[in-house]
Structure 1
Amino acid sequence: MNTSGSGTLMLTVFLRHDQSQNMGELQGKLDEADWWHGFPPEGCEIVSWVVAMGLGQIVTLRLPASKLNSVNVELERRAWGVFTTEFYPTYDFVPVRERLTRESDARTATT
């Protein structure tokens, strides 16, 4: 999906587990914070949500730029005490890679 100029952005969030707590404690805190219903906030699309063993969860969202503050607030409200968080603006590299491959093929075909 090309989102350039559409007022949307992609945001990758690293949710690093608090390893001083066991899974039961973590899940209890997530339940108390209504994590599974409250994150991500309405209007945000989950592009991917994966577990990286030894690291935690990596969530990539597509959202209107105007929702960025809502994502931050929901993480503060619901994730703190369970995860430490890191945020990275991201974009879909697949179309770029495909274009670069075509350009490389064109260059090497003429030599």
Structure 2
Amino acid sequence: MLTIFFKHDQSRPLSELNAQLERQGFYKAFPPEGVEVVSWYVMMGVGQVVTLRLPASRLREINRIIENSAWGAYHTEFYPTYDYKAIGIGNHEKAKQ
């Protein structure tokens, strides 16, 4: 999985940022077909936080889409992640026995 922080450029109004994203084709390109959107939240004071599920072989593709369509409107941070829920819960249940 990949978690991306899209931090708004707070020096510009939202209408201007949205117009730039539209001009650059952000929502047309992101997320690309075949990539699962696990979550997509607005984080007040930050911007948007998106978690995608995708094969590692597609990381470069996602990076290029962001470079070509989101830069300028957003500052981005990328966090490769993995689903630990089943393991964590399993360890918790095992520890309770």
TM-score (norm 1): 0.82
Q: 1:38 corresponds to which letter in structure 2?
A: A
Q: CA deviation at 1:43?
A: 2.2
Q: Which moved more, 1:32-41 or 1:70-79?
A: 32-41
2:94 maps to a residue whose letter is E
Structure 1, unaligned stretches of length 5 or more?
Answer: 1-9, 107-111
Supply the distance in 1 between the matched residues of 2:81 and 2:43 (Cα, whole angstroms).
Answer: 18
Contact 1:13 / 1:85 at 8 angstroms: preserved in 2? yes
**Runs of 4+ with >6 A deviation:** none
- Matching residue's letter, 1:105: K
Pairs aligned (count): 97
Q: Is the 8 A contact 1:43 1:64 kept in 2?
A: no
1:14 aligns with 2:5: yes
Q: For residues 52 and 17 of structure 1, what CA distance do their matches in structure 2 show?
A: 10
What secondary structure, in the 3-state scheme, does the structure 2 residue paired with 1:76 have? helix
Aligned to 1:50: 41
8 A Cα contact 1:35 1:78, kept in partner: yes
- Seq. identity, %: 48
What is residue 72 of structure 2 aligned with on the other side?
A: 81
Deviation string 1:55-91 (CA, Å, 9 cap, x unpaired) is 1111101112221111000000000000001011112
TM-score w.r.t. the length of structure 2 is 0.93
Q: CA deviation at 1:42?
A: 2.1
- Quick check: which has more Rg, 1 or 2? 1
User: What is the distance in 1 between the residues matched to 2:17 and 2:80?
Assistant: 27
C-alpha RMSD over aligned residues: 1.0
The one-letter code matched in structure 2 to 1:82 is A
